[in-house]
Amino acid sequence: MPNANDNLNDTNGNTQAPENAVSEACVSDTNSDSEFYSSVCSPDNSLVYDSSNPELAVRNSNITSVQALSFLNSKKTELNALDLFPVVKKVFFKYNTSIPSSAPVERLFSGAIQVLTPRRQRFQVSQHISTTKHKQNKERQNKFKQQFLTSSPSTSSDDNSSTFYTDLCRVFIRADIPIFKLKNPALKDFLEQYTGKTIPEESTIRKKYVNVIYEETLTSIRQNIQDGPIWVSIDESTDADGRYVGNVIVGKLSSEPCNSFLLNCEQLDKCNHKTIAKLFNDSMNLLWPEGVKYENVFLFLSDAAPYMCKAGNVLNAFFPKLIHVTCLAHGFHRVAETIRSSYPDVDQLIATVKKIFLKAPSRVLKFKELYPDLNLPPEPILTRWGTWLEAALYYCEHFEKIKNIF
């Protein structure tokens, strides 16, 4: 390709200096450049290439210069801005090539992942491999390999450590010791000193070993229950945050005493017959994953809440031999509630005296001065049916003494 300082011959044999590089290229005799500029000087670009017409070449040069200056003055940074400058766009496609990344090549030549330093000659690669920095990085890379949390503890290279961690987790769970206690420095130092083992972090125990203990316990329950027949007891309670938690206990019906097992604990969105029935069915699927033994579930124990009774009626459709029995303690509670509702005056007396003694310490001091050998009146709790009956008997016996306090 001719230089910008070369002279070009026109059709009359005269020489002239090109005004710029683009006009020089448009009148060049070089085949490759003529082919390129013939594509640049297309009708779509308002340029017509003709090496025998100097006036046309000057016109093309002016148009090209205007587009080049407009492109340089443009504030657009998007790539599609080249569509507004066709000549610049075609020159860009011919001469502007992307710079290839050397990262894939560097990974082939550096085991220590030194990808930012060029290593394109063999002796440089050999020198790099023999450096202390490369050897240290390679040794550190081989020493510290990432262990995935999803891998089973049994696949670990250190089987002794895995066994110790599993046993440690099992002991904490069976002794009802919270796993977060492993954060206690005194406990951690004590265990490391007398076991000679490294105590893992709490998160490691939770993520890798708690599920192992759970599966072991579930397998043990299945082996004890086998195909039944069984009894099932369900009760719900609320935790400290007010969430409903359903607990499922199962046991095997036998002529000999058998152990009972806590099979399932599950948070309930609502506490009604639908959630209880679903919890019952999910627990049976957990006990018999290969197929629920519908004919071997004989007894369902629960409290006498209306939603429990309704859930028992629903479950009878799926478990034909199921008998629903409510708790006897709740039966006694209903008897006590009936007695309390039959004596409203006594109930009001007990509640009033309880409130006075609770909010007037001077009354308590007066009671102790007058009757030092007599206990204070009991404070009944409505959810405990026996406490109200005990309070009623106390006031029946010591009514005159209580009357003298006021």
Q: Predicted confidence band at 250 (pLDDT cuts at 50, 70, 90)?
A: very high
Place of tokens 């009757």: 371
Residue 16 has pLDDT above 50, yes or no: no
Provide DSSP, 213-250. Answer: HHHHHHHHHHHHHTT--EEEEEEEEE-TT--EEEEEEE
Q: Predicted confidence band at 30 (pLDDT cuts at 50, 70, 90)?
A: very low
Pairing of strands 8-9, 244-252: unpaired
Per the model's pLDDT, the better-predicted residue between 253 and 386 turns out to be 253
- Per the DSSP assignment, residues forming a β-bridge with 8 are 16
At residue 1, the pLDDT reads 41
d(CA 304, CA 40): 92
Average pLDDT over residues 227-254: 88
**Which CA distances in Å does 237 have to 170, 178, 266, 270, 308?**
26, 21, 11, 12, 13
Q: Predicted confidence band at 160 (pLDDT cuts at 50, 70, 90)?
A: low
Residue 338 has pLDDT above 60, yes or no: yes
Residue 332 has pLDDT above 50, yes or no: yes
d(CA 273, CA 246): 12
Q: Predicted confidence band at 232 (pLDDT cuts at 50, 70, 90)?
A: very high
At residue 122, the pLDDT reads 66
Counting residues of the chain whose pLDDT is more than 70, the rounded percentage is: 74
Residue 271 has pLDDT above 70, yes or no: yes
At residue 119, the pLDDT reads 45
d(CA 49, CA 26): 7
Put simply, whether the predicted model's pTM sits higher than 0.75 gets the answer: no
Q: Predicted confidence band at 102 (pLDDT cuts at 50, 70, 90)?
A: low
Q: Which residues, including other chains, have CB under 8 Å from residue 288's CB and lie 6 or more apart?
A: 222
Counting residues of the chain whose pLDDT is more than 90, the rounded percentage is: 7
pLDDT digits (tens, 9 = 90+) for 255-266: 888 888 999 999
Least reliable range by pLDDT among 184-188, 284-288, 290-294, 374-378: 374-378
Least reliable range by pLDDT among 115-119, 133-137, 249-253: 115-119
Residue 175: is it exposed, middle or buried by C-beta count within 10 angstroms (0-12/13-18/19+)?
A: exposed
At residue 151, the pLDDT reads 46
Q: Which strand ranges, in their side-by-side order, compose the sheet holding 260-268? A: 260-268, 244-252, 230-238, 297-302, 323-326
pLDDT digits (tens, 9 = 90+) for 38-51: 545 544 444 555 55
Q: Mark out the alpha helices in 74-158 (DSSP H runs).
A: 86-95, 103-109, 122-129, 132-143
Q: Predicted confidence band at 351 (pLDDT cuts at 50, 70, 90)?
A: confident
Average pLDDT, the chain: 76
Beta-carbon neighbour count of residue 276 at 10 Å? Answer: 26
Structure tokens at 206: 């939770």
d(CA 270, CA 217): 28
